[in-house]
A = this chain, B = another copy of it.
């Protein structure tokens, strides 16, 4: 851990100037003999370029930040899984920011772009406040926002479409013959809650179904809360034959309660979740869920940012990622999985997380066609005892 060699060290040893060393290391035209000497010296000394000094001079860090509310959240993770390889392929490192859902922290991240420790930022804001917009306008590096921003905000933007997502689900339930379709929503003062609630009402209307307040229950985006809401709904409206849940956790709660109440899923009641997280494929019966394309959004955001980093100026772009209905047993009544929409997903993933320094890995999932499997890995080294 001693002080490493610098180009000065190399220059001295090779008997040339630091400019020549730099030129050789950067592949600029140099006499063959000089190249040889410099390379030899660099090799012998085990030289590694100092990224910090390099960044100072070049004004490029080759780092990009990704900021979201919570590292542990599956929707963000799905984004991260796609963002990472895109950036890596382009030679960027990824700096992770977890804002713990504190708005001030998000503003901080935006502000800290001025420190120039990253070349750009992908952010999933909790909500978009005035303060966000102001800081954004003054940001000293390119930013891509995942989530909706007010019309006219000059920033690259990637959105999902949960309205269409809800509609896909309702149409699916309708096609299965369901007519008493309940909705278990999260709080209406959240943006997702409001949007999904409105979309539900709209979709019913378009199908000519009446909007029945008794069929709607508000809980929170938790499993237990969802279950509670379902229990209430069952008590009030025993003839409900389908449940549209505002996220997968609520839907798992619904499965719990329906099972306890002796209702068969999907024979008596169909259940649809939302977000298509890993949990959907793991549950029993496996859960039909609306994917809002977290993975695709992440990928799109990364590509937008790279384009801006490389391309320079252009008008801000808006990318909207279409939702997809992933049909599983909770509506279709089969143990297997059937995909509707343009893509297949099966989220179950796990690993063998062990102390022996050998862990599972995923094979490529580049194109969203991911069967979600983990490789157990392997090892040729057994001495790491337990």
Contact = CB atoms under 8 A, between A and B. Distances in A.
Interface of A: 1, 4, 46, 48-53, 55-56, 61, 63, 68-78, 80-81, 84-85, 88, 93-98, 100-101, 111-112, 114-117, 124-129, 138-142, 145-151, 159-164, 186-187, 189-196, 220-224, 246-249, 252, 255-256, 259-260, 274-275, 277-279, 282-285, 292, 294, 297, 320-321, 335, 348-362, 365, 373-386
Given A69-B360, A195-B356, A279 B282 contact: yes
B111 A48 contact: yes
Max chain B Cβ within 10 angstroms of own Cβ: one of A96, A163, A356: A356
A94 B68 CA distance: 13
Which 3 pairs from chain A and chain B are nearest by CB? Answer: A147-B357, A148-B384, A75-B353
Contacts of A85: 98, 100
A163 B285 CA distance: 33
A37 B78 CA distance: 48
Contacts of A335: 256, 260
Nearest to A222: B373
Contacts of A385: 148, 151
Given A98-B88, A373-B222, A374-B221, A190 B71 contact: no
Given A88-B98, A190-B377, A379-B191, A140 B350 contact: no
Contacts of A145: 357
A174 to B, nearest CB: 21
25 contacts: A4-B114, A4-B140, A48-B115, A49-B114, A69-B377, A74-B351, A76-B359, A84-B96, A84-B98, A101-B377, A126-B377, A147-B355, A150-B383, A160-B353, A162-B355, A191-B377, A191-B382, A192-B359, A222-B374, A223-B350, A246-B352, A247-B352, A247-B360, A252-B350, A256-B335
